């Protein structure tokens, strides 16, 4: 499945593999997908599959899928944060947040885990 969805004023292209579509159809509750953009000493992109989405920017794709975008940051910067457990994060207040909304999101299921990736090109 390929579908265009709206987050704020940005169009996001959602691509979902056939295995992901099949599993999504059998779920008893929606899959909650959070695209996290992490600002610290480095910038990291991560797709998280959650029981609840803790972000202000989100949309229901359908009854089975909700997609959200959450920019976060740490209060300190440490080289160790790349190697150890991630430090606590807080929401990152972004001016003109729609400029940071990804252009695309892919979702897959490999038989054991949900997989996701997002990008800006």
Q: What domains does the chain contain, in order, with CATH numbers? A: 2-119 (2.60.300)
Indicate the helix (H) or strand (E) that contains 114. Answer: strand 114-119
84 pLDDT above the threshold of 80: no
How high is the mean pLDDT of the chain?
Answer: 88
8 pLDDT above the threshold of 80: yes
pTM here is: 0.84
56: confidence class by pLDDT, cuts 50, 70, 90: confident
83 pLDDT above the threshold of 70: no
Per-residue model confidence (pLDDT) at position 72: 87
């Amino acid at each position: 499945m390929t579908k265009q969805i709206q987050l704020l004023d940005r169009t996001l292209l959602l691509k979902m593999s056939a295995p992901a579509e099949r599993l999504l159809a059998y779920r008893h509750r929606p899959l909650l997908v959070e695209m996290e953009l992490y600002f610290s000493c480095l910038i990291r992109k991560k797709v998280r599959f959650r029981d609840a989405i803790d972000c202000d920017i989100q949309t229901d794709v359908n009854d089975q899928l909700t997609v959200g975008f959450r920019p976060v940051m740490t209060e300190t910067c440490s080289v160790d944060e790349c190697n150890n457990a991630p430090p606590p994060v807080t929401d990152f207040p972004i001016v003109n947040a729609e400029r940071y909304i990804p252009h695309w999101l892919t979702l897959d299921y490999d038989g054991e885990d949900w997989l996701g990736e997002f990008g800006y090109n």
